[in-house]
Amino acid sequence: MTPRLMNDNRAFPTVPPPDLDDPQKITANDWNAFRALGRMTNHWDRPGWGPGHRAYYWMLTFADEPELIDEARSCQQALADLGMDEVPHDGLHITMNKIGSCADVESGTVDTVAQLAEGVLGDGFEICAHPMAGSPGAIRFSVTPWTQLVDTYTALHRAGQDAGVADGRSNSLFRPHLGILYNNRVRRAAPVIDAVAPLRNLPSVALQVKRVDMVELWREERAYRWRVLHSLALSDRSRSR
């Protein structure tokens, strides 16, 4: 059974949507939370991310989704006057679970987490990326539906727990999203919200989730980069019939 998401001010939106599978309720919840912001924060001013820091994460990556890349590029161009930092087109992703710092987690343990996860992941599924909303530190697509994303997050979290390295947030705080711009200074939110609002008329983009990638993640200037350590395929029920 999909875990219940909890209200928590460490997550954004603080309050999860009332229905994890209703696109309208999810996107409205994201937008209403973003629209209520008074100020935006500097995304790069984050504790723990000092020079040389690297960490292991689970991610969904979308470098091979041309329709998503085209729509992200279009939105980035429309918002260029904001002066935010673009997510590179080969860097579009949904962050799932943090496993731990590379300084704290041994490579053998990383392999164990991957082996444990491979045995508990479910089938592949489809999600949609919806323009456009944001958070205190970013502009991002909303993604729907959430149930299978939350189930995948939960399976990965349990694999980390079983290996003793579940460093990320509990699954009840998970809020799936797909960022395209990182805010790089403290600013008033209202002009950003006004700039983003017209993009909400753009069509959604369907995405096939066929695998989950375990990555070693680091920063290069004002962008995230990674190398894939393990890529776990989700099962294809259509092929198994």
Q: Which domains does the chain have, with CATH numbers?
A: 26-235 (3.90.1140.10)
- Two tokens at 179? 């960022």
What DSSP designation does 35 have? H
Q: Could you report the per-residue pLDDT of 73-121, keeping only the tens digit for each? A: 999 999 999 999 999 999 999 999 999 999 999 989 999 999 999 989 9
Closest CA to 96 of 209, 193, 175: 175
User: In degrees to the nearest 10, what's the CA dihedral of 171, 175, 178, 184?
Assistant: -110
Residue 131 phi, psi dihedral angles, 5° rounding: -75, 135
Give dist(CA 241, CA 234) in Å, integer: 15
pLDDT of amino acid 238: 40
Give dist(CA 93, CA 141) in Å, integer: 11
Q: Is the peptide bond before 203 cis (omega within 30 degrees of 0)?
A: no
Rg of the chain (C-alpha set):
17
DSSP H helices in 36-124: 66-78, 107-118
Q: Could you report the per-residue pLDDT of 132-166, keeping only the tens digit for each? A: 999 999 999 999 999 999 999 999 999 999 998 86
pLDDT of amino acid 167: 63
The strand pairing partners of 142, in sequence order, are 130, 177
Residue 67 phi, psi dihedral angles, 5° rounding: -65, -40
pLDDT of amino acid 102: 94
42 by Cβ neighbours in 10 Å (0-12 / 13-18 / 19+) ranks as middle
Residue 178 pLDDT exceeds 70: yes
Our separate counts of H helices and E strands in the chain read 6, 11
Average pLDDT over residues 199-204: 96
